Amino acid sequence: MSETPQPHQDKPDRVTPDHPEPDQHGSDQHGSEAPGSVAPASVDPRTGEDLSWKSTPVAIVLLDRPAPGHREVSELLAEIFEGSYEVDPGTDDDPATGVYIEDATVVVTPLDGPVADGEASRYTENLAIWNGGEGVVDTHRSQIVVAAFRLGPVGDDGEPGEPEYLDPRLDTLRCELAVTTVTAALTALPGAIAVSVGGAATTLPAGPYRDLVTGNPLPVPALVGVRAGMQSETTSCVYTSGLGRFGRLDLERLDVAGPPGAAFGQMCDLVAYSLGSGTVFQPGQALEVGGPQPLLTSVETSPFTGQQVLRLTPG
């Protein structure tokens, strides 16, 4: 591929210095509890196709107060999206608010209770963007679930099958971006403190999430988990989580000479290029990224998540 475009992703001023080194993660430590780990996606037993692209795109706004009523939610969205997107207000009988973005239907549902099992807090781990302030996530008292639904062909029963009527990569990206658009608007609600994206194993502060979405056509860290940190005294490492939702293997780099901030930025640029251009990196491919050497790709088992990833190494 040609030199990777440089989208203006917001990068943290510093990265977590105690990022886990690869040799600190034995195979018995992998799984949903590991930072950046996403539960294994469902697989079509007939074709072996990774079906995570068929999961419903969801983000959750976390608030440190009781859940807002449907009127507060509807009025905010109507004010922000006036003239851009149709907003279908919730009612006392059906408090969910609908937002129609092109042919995606985004449903917004307030829930008066925290995210279960500490998942939202767990997904803050090793994200430098928190700069030590991730404890605020534990204070959340309510949530607003934002979900986008695809419109399939007449008679589609939702069962796994050949995706003849859509490209899973492009369709999922379209729906995920619709979710980010509505979610970013909801962070303007009083008491919004964070946004949790379970499919990316990532929880971000509300303000930076909003800035990412409003400032980038492809806000990579709001769509995909990107974690970078020091691997040794002189090298860094970086890996992603959640790219399976876009029909791709997650990416990983180990033993990168230089600071983790640079590795983070380059990884964001690679993901943005892949998603924005529709390019799917393949094992054995050489990626020209503007450095002195191309990056060669190979399928490996991640020392961070225990799942198959596409590892990038200098060629």
CB 26 within 8 A of CB 293: no
* pLDDT the model gives residue 38: 61
Per-residue pLDDT of the chain (315 residues; tens, 9 = 90+): 333 333 334 333 322 323 333 333 332 333 334 556 665 456 667 766 667 767 889 999 999 999 999 999 999 999 999 989 999 999 999 999 999 998 889 999 999 999 999 999 999 999 999 999 999 999 999 999 999 987 644 455 555 555 455 566 777 899 999 999 999 999 999 999 999 999 999 999 999 999 999 999 999 999 999 999 999 999 999 999 999 999 899 999 999 998 999 999 999 999 999 999 999 999 999 998 877 789 999 999 999 989 999 999 998
Helix (H, G, I), strand (E, B) or coil at 16: coil
Question: Percentage helix, strand, coil, to 5, in the chain?
Answer: 30, 25, 45
**pLDDT at position 264:** 95
Domain boundaries, the chain: 36-155+164-314
Position 315, amino acid: G
Q: How is residue 118 annotated by DSSP?
A: G
How far is it, in rounded angstroms, from Cα 127 to Cα 35?
Answer: 9
Q: How far apart are CA 251 and CA 234, in angstroms?
A: 21
Q: Residue 28: CB partners within 8 Å, gap ≥ 6?
A: none
Eight-class DSSP state of 119: H
pLDDT value of residue 103: 80
- Identify the CA nearest to 59 among candidates 241, 249, 243, 224: 224
Which pairs from 130-136 meet CB under 8 Å and 24+ separation? Answer: 130/205, 131/12, 131/13, 131/14, 133/205, 134/203, 136/64, 136/193, 136/194, 136/205
Closest CA to 273 of 263, 261, 265, 283: 265
User: What pLDDT does 12 receive?
Assistant: 31
- Residue 271 tokens read as 């993901």
Across the beta sheet with 58-63, what order do the strands follow? 86-88, 97-101, 104-111, 142-149, 58-63, 192-197, 202-205
